[in-house]
Structures are given as structure tokens and as C-alpha cells.
Structure 1
Amino acid sequence: MAPGGNRGWLLRLVIAFSFAQGAVSMARPAVSYRALALGADERAVGVIAGVYALLPLFAAVPLGRRTDHGRCAPLLPIGVVLISGGCALSGLAGSLWAMALWSGVMGLGHLCFVIGAQSLVARQSAPHEQDRNFGHFTIGASLGQLIGPIAAGGLIGGADMARTSALALLVAGAGAAVAFTSLWRIERPVSGKARTAQGARVPVGRILRARGVPGGILISMAVLSATDILTAYLPVVGEHRGIDPAVIGLLLSLRAAATIACRLVLTPLLRLLGRTLLLTVTCLLAALLCAGIALPVPVWALALMLAVLGFCLGVGQPLSMTTVVQGSPDGARSTALALRLTGNRLGQVAAPAAAGLIAGVAGVAAPFVMLGALLLLSSGVALRSPVAPAQDRSPAEGSERTRLLRRTPR
């Protein structure tokens, strides 16, 4: 399918991503509550949250290589199967070790789905459409992050936390399976001749040295770590402050709703501020707000902080995707996106583990101070777009880039 063609594939991809991400967003807090009910402390919750990212940490680059030289679509149903199975088996697990294992399977499934989906958007979008299409694509993630915690909060509670959290995980597994309904004809098949026409693999070192790629990876890692720690540790904060799980679910969904709002207005924000300033300002504000969660504020103030934080965090992911795609060498876009995801997963392994250690020593709110420091560092990274932003590019240049993409074997 040529870039800029029929966008039915993008709508179907957003719907599928909404269900897959909704299942994961429902399962992550459910895993935390079930682990607490099975006797886990703050350190154990951090370890289980980190295992979610451990298998993807080693699998991302090989999967990206395969996608650069093949098709994206097969990774999507594989990802759905692993997400669904990981959620359901986490609900059936009776030990912390088993929960950690199935949490890792869930994370591997999420990685497969996201690599396939991001590569599909990069291949089937013209350069001037990438900011917009990546923004629309990530709305699927935000919708899932909006619905998942509400569903989890509605199911989890009462005296038997182990049973209700297990039920939430089983429902999440069923919800992930619904994503199959939107995956038909998501990508045009690639002929064997087109596959063999691909060039030699670009070395990873060359990709990492490309202009904009390291900065995009760092921004993405910081933003995702913040989202991940919020999902995993806000329930722990709620337990210590006496906030009901249903309220915690609503707070997490409020954060996701603000992220959706941000991505709906991303294009005018880019025209107003430009990519570099927009990333810097939103990461700085997110750093201050993350650190503020450590304060013993009332629930209404926490809700306000999470709403603004969600808006700020909505910028980093889609713009870092575009920065990495446009900065990567030809024939290595999927691998570059996989390296970005490797950075994400590295943050998801290290950040929860560090959060668990900090929480055990300094209290459950301390990890949010750590997140503030990480986002502050990312706000200082001077990101430079490897090509001119779409709105500043001449029509002739855009047409030439589109013609080149159309000649690239799919």
C-alpha cells in the first residue's frame, strides 16, 4: 500500500491497539493488587513490574530486523495471542514467581504488537503524514489506557482482593482477544521478489549514531517509564493513603484521557511551538508534576496533577517515533523503532526495580521523585529533527520523498 493511501488500515490498527493496550492497562494494576494480596511487598511489586519488560529487552532488535526485511502484519496476531495468554495465566497463577513469568509473556506480546504496528505506520505513511499518523496511532494506546484502569478498578475490591484481581486478569485476557477482529487485511502481502530486493542490514552502531535517534530514544524511555511507574505504583500509593481502588482506576484513566486530548491537538501544537520546544517544555512540566505526586496532597489535587501530567506525557511518544524514523538510515526504520522500544523496555526493567528499592527505603512516594529527575534530564536533551518538519517542507520535497518510499519494496 502506498504511503498516504486509503487510511482504513490506520483506523483498524487504532481499534486493535485500543483493545490490546486496554487489556495490558487493565492487567498491570491487577497484577500489582494480586501480588499484594499474595503477600508481596513494594520490592516484589517492583520486580514483577520489571519482568514485564525483561523478555522484550532482548527480543526487540531481532524482531525489528525481521520486520525491516519482511512483513509487519504477522507480528500483530502473535502479539495478541501472547497478551491474552499472559493476562489470563497471570490470573490463574498462585505464586509470585508464576506471576512474574506470565507478566513477562504479556510484555513480549505487547512488544510484538507494537513493533509490527509502528513499522506499519512508518511504511504506509508519507513523510509529511508521520507526525499526524503516529499521533493518531498512539490514540489507540491512550484509549486502552483510559478504559483499562476503569475496568480494573470496577472489578477489583472487597475483602477477597486475590479473587477479584484474578477475575480482572481473566477479563483482560478476553478483551485482548477481541483485537483479532480488526486485524484482517491490515497490510498488503509482500511478494517473495520484493523481500529479496532488500539491501544489507544496517549496523546497529550506525543507526544509533544517526542524527536524532539517541535523543528520541531517551525521550521515549523517560516518558514511558513515567507512564509505567504511574500504572504500577499508584495503586501502592493508594493503599498507603487509603484511596479506594476504584478511585485509583479513575485517576489513571483521567491521566489517559488527558493524553488523548493532547494527541488530538498535536498538529496545531507543533505548528505553534515546533517539535523541539514542545518536547522540552512538556518534559519539564512532567518532571515537576511527577515529583509533586510524592506530596501528601488531597485526591482532587492529585487528579488535577495527573490530568496535566497526562497531557504533557502525550507528546513524547508520537514525536519520538517520528524523530527516530526520519533520522534512521534507509532500510532500517523498523530496526530503529525496535531500538527505541529496547530503550523503552530497558527503562521498564530498570525503573521499576529502582522504584522498588527506593520505595523500600524512602517510602512508596519516593519513586515519583526519581521519575521527575529522569524527565528533567530528558527535557535537557536538545532534539534536532533530522529532516524539516512536515509543515515546513516544500511540496516538491514531500513529493520526492513519497516517490522514493513508493519505490521501496514492501
Structure 2
Amino acid sequence: MSEAPATRNTSGRGWLYLLIASAVLTQGGLNLIRPVTTYKLVGLGADSFLVGVVTAFYALVPLFAAIWLGRMSDRLNNLRPMVALGAVVLAIGAAGIALGNSFILIAIFSAVLGLGHLLFTIGGQAAIARRSSPAEMDRGFGWFTAAFSVGQMIGPLLAGIILGSELVSDAADRLDSVNIALWVGCGLTLAAAPLFLSPKTLSGTTPRRTSPKTGGSSDTREMTTTKPTMCNILKRPGVMSHMFASLALLGMLDILTAFLPLLAEEVGVSPAAVGLLLALRGAASIVSRVLLPWLSSRLSHTSLLLWSLYGAGLALVIPPLLMAMFPPADGGELTLLLCGLCMLFGGIFLGLGQPLTMTEVSTSVPPAWRGSALAVRLMGNRLGQVALPLLAGVFAAPLGPGAAIVMASGFLLISGAEKSIRKRRK
């Protein structure tokens, strides 16, 4: 019988700090690029449905590549090239969107952008899952996703600063500023690649071969006889439920990023204000993700996930309804203040869910399957990122862009209800 791979713990967290720094840069650039892409599409004459279609393209290539890249991450001796390549591909996608002057080109390079994000995320998640013990995963994934939230705060703020606080009657007049913002995002993502020039970064992370006697009973025996195919991973107890929760949480992030600028254009809210609202959401998620190790030592993962899904769903359904009933352009400054508070509360709850689903999926499979399992989770996320924006565009076309955000909140509440039912059955 062949020996099975097991996870190796290594001393020192220098690799994790470099990974976190690169996550801040890449996610800062990505979250500058994505809302600005909506403004570019509007400037070129896109409607709500077309914005949804282009947003779906972001996840189209990753949807088909996730499993293959996850298996590759399990086989790689060093994850450094995968993570660095992700940063470079992100920059290429940003440059293509900046140079593109048609909906087709912007959609194609949005797909390139999504592929870069997938490469970076799979490499980073696999490094944490491979180098961390189960007890340390909440900390590793919490810090990694907190870095994503820092980027989600910085990116929209920079976008708002570059695009300005002035409302523009003709969106096409803003295209020069939009393209400048896209090039800034390109530079941020590309700046992450040099952090992985050091041969020590994410090196020595190959799973160590150990004897089945020391590798751990049933999971080890399963590793030696069963391949980590998508079907085998999905059959593991709880995996599909965790994937649905992850899909709903990430779908809300995507729809907020794509449709909040569109809603703002309709009700007379400036890009700077939109950037601030999205940044508040990102800042709140930083707090909850940094506190995750402390919270998970006091509450079960199931309870925290329920708080995340219900809390985010209820908090984030309010801003589009407020903007529709009390348009800020009519002097409703209180509307923006209340929307900001909802984004803060929603961000706190939204921030908890993703690292928890990473830990839950990782610990639901044998150690040698973790890269593949996280890739299956990402594939589920990308499926949601294709389907939900398209569905959101269908809702938004007759009902307005606010309906897309309401729909995403509904998916969060449905996922919470599913987990509540599962909890009662145990």
C-alpha cells in the first residue's frame, strides 16, 4: 500500500504575513476594478441586464478551471508560482478592461480577471490548509480573508477618490477618470507579484509522506483507496451545505459591488459615496475576521454561520429599500447615514462566513484532499457568481438594480434556513 500524504506544520509565520500583504494588494486592486467596471459599462451605454451578464463573465472561466487548479495545487511542491501568476493575470485583466472599448472585450477581460483571482485564491488557501493544523485553520483563514476585506475597503475608497464626488449627467464624460482608476487597480495587483520572488515564500510546503500508522485511521485509509474527485468530495457530510452558504455569501459581495453603483446612478448618489459605503462593508468584515479565532473559541461554527447568514441577509436588504423610498438626491442625507450603518452591520456578519466555510470544508475531508476540496468550494462559488448576477440582471431589468440586492439577501436567508433545519435534525 502506498504511503499517504499528511499535513506538515512549520514554524514561523513569515510566509503567512507575505501572503496577507499580497492579498491586500491584489484585493485592493480587484475591488477598485470591479465597481469601476460598472461605471465604464454605464458610460458605454449598458443597462442593468448587460451589467449582470458582464459580471457573470468574471466567474465563467474559473467555473471550469477550479477543479483542475485545485488538483494542481495538491501536486505542486511550491505554491509560490501559482500565487505570483495569479497577481500577474489579475493585472492583465485590469489592463484589458482599461483598454477595451466594447462590451465583448470588457466581458472577456473580466473573465481573465476572474481567472487571476482564482489562481491567487487557490494557491493561498492551499498553502494555509497545507501548513496549518485543524486548530490553527480559523486563524490562518481568518487572517487571509481579513486581508481580502482590507482590500475590499481600500479599493472602493480609491475608486471614489479618483472618480470624485461630483455627479455627472452624462456617464460617458466620466470615462477618462474610469480608465485612470482601472490602471491604478492594474498597478496594485501587479505589485503583489514581487513579494513571491523570494525562494522561501511558500516553499517547503509539500505534504510530507507518512506511514498510515501515524497518518490517522479512517481518513488515511480513505486517502489511499479513493481519489478526491468532485463527486467524492461532495458526498462528504455537510460539504454541499457549506458550499451553498459560501456561494450565497460571495454572491452578495459580487452583486453589491456590481449593482450598488448602478442603483446609485439612478438615485443620484456620487461615486465617492458609493466607494465609502462599500469600504464600510469591507472595514466591518476586517473586524469580524480578525476576531474570528476568539469568537470560534466561544461559539460553535454552526452558530457563527447562522449569525453570518441571517445577520447579513437582514442588514443588507435595507439599503436598496431605503434608497428607493427616500432618494438621497432629494436631500435625504439621513438615508445615506442609515445605509452606512446597515453596510457596517452587514459587513460584520458577511465577514464571518467565508473563513468558516473554508475551515468546515477543509476539515470535512482527509488532509490530502484539502486543496481539491477548497477548489470544489471555489467552483461552487464561481457557479454562483455566474448564475446569481445573470438572475440579478433579470430581476433588475424590470424592477431596478435595487431588486438584485434584495434577491441576493434572499439567498442568504434561504441558506440560513437550510442550516437551521440541518442543525435541528442532528
TM, length-normalised to structure 1: 0.89
Matched with 1:126 is: 133
* 1:281 matches 2:307: yes
Q: Which residue of 78, 84, 88 corresponds with 1:81?
A: 88
Q: How does 1:153-172 map to 2 (within 5 A)?
A: 153-157=160-164, 159=168, 160-172=173-185
Which AA in structure 2 matches 1:144? G
For 1:191 and 1:231, the matched residues in 2 are separated by 36
Which AA in structure 2 matches 1:376? L
Equivalent residue pairs, number:
383
1:53 positional shift: 0.5
Matched with 2:227 is: 201
1:295 positional shift: 1.0
* 1:303 matches 2:340: yes
* 1:368 matches 2:408: no
Q: More deviation in 87-96 or 287-296?
A: 287-296
Cα 1:305–1:14 change in 2 (3 A) is same
Q: How does 1:76-225 map to 2 (within 5 A)?
A: 76-157=83-164, 159=168, 160-183=173-196, 184=198, 185-189=200-204, 201-225=227-251
1:152 positional shift: 0.8
Maintained 8 Å contact 1:32/1:232: yes
Q: Which residue of 246, 256, 259 corresponds with 2:282?
A: 256
Please give the secondary structure, in 2, of the residue aligned with 1:293: helix
For 2:12 and 2:227, the matched residues in 1 are separated by 30
For 2:271 and 2:140, the matched residues in 1 are separated by 34
1:77 positional shift: 1.3
For 2:207 and 2:258, the matched residues in 1 are separated by 44
Please give the secondary structure, in 1, of the residue aligned with 2:192: helix
Matched with 1:338 is: 375
Matched with 2:70 is: 64
Q: More deviation in 267-276 or 335-344?
A: 267-276
1:214 positional shift: 1.2
For 2:207 and 2:271, the matched residues in 1 are separated by 52
Please give the secondary structure, in 1, of the residue aligned with 2:317: helix
Which AA in structure 1 matches 2:279? S
Matched with 1:350 is: 387
TM, length-normalised to structure 2: 0.86
1:267 positional shift: 2.0
Maintained 8 Å contact 1:52/1:107: yes
Which AA in structure 1 matches 2:201? I
Matched with 2:365 is: 328
Which AA in structure 2 matches 1:246? A
* 1:230 matches 2:267: no
> Cα deviation per residue 1:324-378 (whole Å; 9 max; x = unaligned)?
0000134211110001001111111111111111000111111122112100111
> Cα deviation per residue 1:151-193 (whole Å; 9 max; x = unaligned)?
1111124652111111111111011111023223222247899
Please give the secondary structure, in 2, of the residue aligned with 1:74: helix
Which AA in structure 2 matches 1:360? A
* 1:378 matches 2:391: no
Which AA in structure 2 matches 1:287? G
Maintained 8 Å contact 2:8/2:205: no
Please give the secondary structure, in 2, of the residue aligned with 1:256: helix
For 1:189 and 1:289, the matched residues in 2 are separated by 43
Q: More deviation in 184-193 or 292-301?
A: 184-193
For 1:121 and 1:169, the matched residues in 2 are separated by 30
Which AA in structure 1 matches 2:112? V
1:245 positional shift: 0.3
Report the identity percentage. 39
* Ranges in structure 2 where 5+ consecutive residues have no aligned partner: 1-6, 210-222, 324-334
> Cα deviation per residue 1:228-250 (whole Å; 9 max; x = unaligned)?
11111110111111111001001
Maintained 8 Å contact 2:127/2:205: no
For 1:263 and 1:367, the matched residues in 2 are separated by 26
Matched with 1:21 is: 27
For 1:252 and 1:97, the matched residues in 2 are separated by 27
For 1:323 and 1:369, the matched residues in 2 are separated by 27
Which AA in structure 2 matches 1:284? Y
Please give the secondary structure, in 2, of the residue aligned with 1:13: helix
> Cα deviation per residue 1:77-99 (whole Å; 9 max; x = unaligned)?
11111100100110111111100
1:217 positional shift: 0.8
* 1:38 matches 2:44: yes
Which AA in structure 2 matches 1:232? A
Please give the secondary structure, in 1, of the residue aligned with 2:419: coil
1:212 positional shift: 2.5
Which AA in structure 1 matches 2:48? E
Matched with 1:403 is: none
Please give the secondary structure, in 1, of the residue aligned with 2:368: coil
Matched with 2:349 is: 312
Cα RMSD, aligned residues only: 2.0
Matched with 1:389 is: none
